[in-house]
Structure 1
């Protein structure tokens, strides 16, 4: 893959979350990524029942639990918890943009410019930023990703900048992938 490449995935006819078509079965290795790559991944439909269930368990505030009570708040209606939006974002990220050995974060910054609502169909737009190879731990590096969680109208509900750890492809696999060269 080269900088500027765009990869788009969609949910299949059975409603399963997507997997990028242009990736290795074991996920992306550090060697597979390049600064400037972008991915569009989605979709995930948010339901009122899911918003209320998450809120009941993790963020029990009136604007996440009850439509009537939420109408008299800053949100002017039922809104998902920001942490719920973050959890959905992570689900999309790990399902459709798998990093070999797992998506292991080392830093993250989140913003919620607008609330996620029941009926929203969420997608991710991911851009690969800086790639830094470790000098103290050969064979691994960090990748800065910027990803927006957007709804069906293209409105940004969550903006994330995160740094993940990624490993280089093992030498045996690299040799096999290049025909031993």
Structure 2
């Protein structure tokens, strides 16, 4: 299990491989972001996208899936997140793209009010198969401290 004490600021993790399908783009958009350029080839062709593109929120959801899979694989003692900031959709994501993630741990600190928890801030960058950044955000995560006795001291 990976705990707060195991985190190294400055470290970068690269992981994931998510194939974006036309069916999933259409399904997500029809449920959550039903704008024409996410639902219609013809409408998308008339926009700056040029063709059917995934919703930015869908890009975020696909990225979240890769991050959670990575946390599970590394058995991280994560405790959720109070939020994120500076979300940017940099380039469109299209059916046929394959996404991957890169997470850089910027800093960590113990919670003053909850000493059994650590707080970490990370930059998340999402790339397509051409190594073009398509999305970025700064996240705040919570993680369990290994030594609970030290946490209470």
Task: Say whether the fold is shared (TM-score over 0.5).
Answer: yes
Gaps of 5+ in 1: 1-23, 173-181
For residue 101 of structure 1, report the CA deviation from its aligned partner.
4.2
1:66 aligns with 2:40: yes
Query: Which consecutive aligned stretches of 4+ in structure 1 deviate over 4 angstroms post-superposition?
Result: none
CA RMSD, Structure 1 to Structure 2 (Å): 1.4
Gaps of 5+ in 2: none
Q: Identify the residue that residue 111 of structure 1 maps to in structure 2.
A: 88
Q: Identify the residue that residue 165 of structure 1 maps to in structure 2.
A: 142
Cα distance per residue 1:3-30 (max 9 Å; x no partner): xxxxxxxxxxxxxxxxxxxxx3xxx311
CA distance in 1, matches of 2:61, 2:102: 16
Q: Scaled by the length of structure 1, what TM-score is found?
A: 0.76
Ranked by relative contact order (alpha carbons within 8 Å, sequence separation 6 or more), the top structure is: 2
Out of 95, 100, 118, the residue aligned to residue 77 of structure 2 is 100
1:128 aligns with 2:77: no
